[in-house]
Amino acid sequence: MGNEYLDIFVLALLAMLNPSLLAAVTVMLLLPSPKRLMLGYLLGAYTTSITCGLLIVFTLHRSPATSTSKHTLSPLEDIVIGALALAVAIVLQTGRDEPLRERRQRKKDAKLAGKREAGKPTESLPLRMLGKGDPKVTFAVGVVLSFPGVSYLAALAKIDGLGKAAGVSVLLVVVFCLIQLMLLELPLLGYAFAPERTQDTITRFKAWMARSGRSAAVAGAGIIGLLLIVRGVVTLL
C-alpha cells in the first residue's frame, strides 16, 4: 500500500514538469503583474485538473474491469521505466543526443524563418494569449492546457486501485493537483510573503538552469532510474 502512495507522489512530480506549464510560467514571470496572471492560470488549471480527475477516478471506480491485475505489472514497470531513465541519463551525459538536437534546431529555425517571411506569428496560440497580460485570458489558457496527461491518468488509475472511500479518493486527487501545479503555487506564495526575495530567487534559478540544467537532468534521471530498478527487483524477489 505504501508503494502505491509513493507511486502517486512520483507521478505528481513528473506531471509538474509539464513543458506547457513550464513555458507558461516562464512567459508570465516576464510580463507585468505576474502575480495576477499566474493566479488566473492557476484557478483555470485547478478547474480543469480537479474536475477531470474526479470524473475519471469515479468512472474507473464504477468499472468492473479496473479490479483485475492491479499489482502484476508494477515491478516490471518500475524496471522498464528505470532502465529508460538511465538510458536518458547516459545519452545526455555522453552528448549522443547532440546530432538530434542540432537537426531539430535546424528544422525549428527553418520553420520560424518561413513563418517570419510569410508574416505569420512564430509563437503558439496559448503563449500569444498569455502575452496579452490579462488574468481572464490566463484563466482560459489554464483551463485549456490542464487536461490530464499520461502521468495524471496513471496516478488516477492507482488512486482507484487503492479501493479507498470516496472522500479519500477526492483528497488524493486534490493533493495530486496541488503537487503538479507547484511551479505556479510556490512563486505566488513567494510574491505574497516575500516579493523581493522571490524575484531574486527566480532570477538566480534561471541563471543556474542556464549553466547547470543539463547536469541536473543527468543526475535526476540517473537517480530516479536506479531507485526504480532497485525497487522493481526487490519487489520481484
Dist. CA 3–CA 232, nearest whole Å: 11
Dist. CA 135–CA 44, nearest whole Å: 10
Among residues 131, 110, 124, 139, the alpha carbon closest in space to that of 39 is found at 139
pLDDT score for 54:
92
DSSP 12: H
Cell numbers found for residue 69: 491485475
Q: Which residues constitute the domain of residue 47?
A: 2-236
Q: Do 86 and 221 meet the contact criterion of CB atoms below 8 Å apart?
A: yes
pLDDT score for 66:
44
The number of CA neighbours under 13 Å toward the Cβ of 154 is 18
Dist. CA 13–CA 231, nearest whole Å: 18
pTM here is: 0.63
Dist. CA 36–CA 190, nearest whole Å: 13
Among residues 234, 235, 225, 229, the alpha carbon closest in space to that of 91 is found at 225
List of residues 6+ apart from 153 with CB closer than 8 A: 56
Q: How many domains does the chain have?
A: 1
Cell 532497485 locates to 230
pLDDT score for 37:
87
Dist. CA 228–CA 111, nearest whole Å: 39
Dist. CA 177–CA 49, nearest whole Å: 7
Angle (deg, nearest 10), helices 150-161 and 34-62: 50
Tell me the residue ranges of DSSP E strands in 43-174.
none
Q: Which helix (H) or strand (E) holds 212?
A: helix 195-236
pLDDT score for 127:
60
Q: Give counts: helices (H), strands (E), the chain.
A: 11, 0
Distances (CA, A) of 230 to 4, 81, 151: 16, 12, 21
DSSP 31: S
- pLDDT per residue of the chain (237 residues) written in tens, 0 to 9: 567 788 888 888 888 877 778 778 877 877 777 888 899 999 999 999 999 999 998 887 655 544 444 444 467 777 887 788 888 888 878 877 677 767 777 776 676 676 667 666 555 666 666 656 678 888 988 898 888 888 898 889 888 888 888 899 999 999 999 999 998 999 899 988 888 888 788 778 767 766 776 787 788 778 878 877 887 787 776
Distances (CA, A) of 79 to 71, 73, 119, 224: 14, 10, 49, 11
